[in-house]
Amino acid sequence: MSTTADIKNGSIILHKNSRMKVVEFQHVKPGKGPAFVRTKLKDIKTGKIIDETFNSGVKLDFIRVTSKNFQYLYKDSGSYIFMDNDNFNQIQVSESMIDDNYYYIREGDNIEIVFDGDEVINISLPPKVKLKVVETDPGLRGNTATNATKSAKMETGLEIQVPLFINEGDILKIDTKSGNYSERVKN
Shared domain for 72 and 58, answered yes or no, is no
Q: What does the pLDDT average to over 35-64?
A: 88
- Rounded Cα–Cα distance for residues 32 and 42 (Å): 30
Helix, coil or strand: residue 95: helix
- Rounded Cα–Cα distance for residues 54 and 71 (Å): 38
Helix, coil or strand: residue 61: strand
Report the mean per-residue pLDDT for the chain. 86
The predicted pLDDT at position 142 comes to: 61
Supply the range of the domain harboring residue 103: 66-124
Q: Pick the closest to residue 170 from 142, 141, 130 (CA basis).
A: 130
The predicted pLDDT at position 139 comes to: 66
Q: Does residue 1 surpass a pLDDT of 80?
A: no
pLDDT tens sequence across 172-186: 999 988 889 988 887
- Confirm whether pTM is higher than 0.85: no
- Other C-beta atoms within 10 Å of 78: how many? 9
CATH assignment at residue 78: 2.40.50.140
Return the percentage of the chain with pLDDT > 90, whole number. Answer: 27
The count of structural domains within the chain is 3
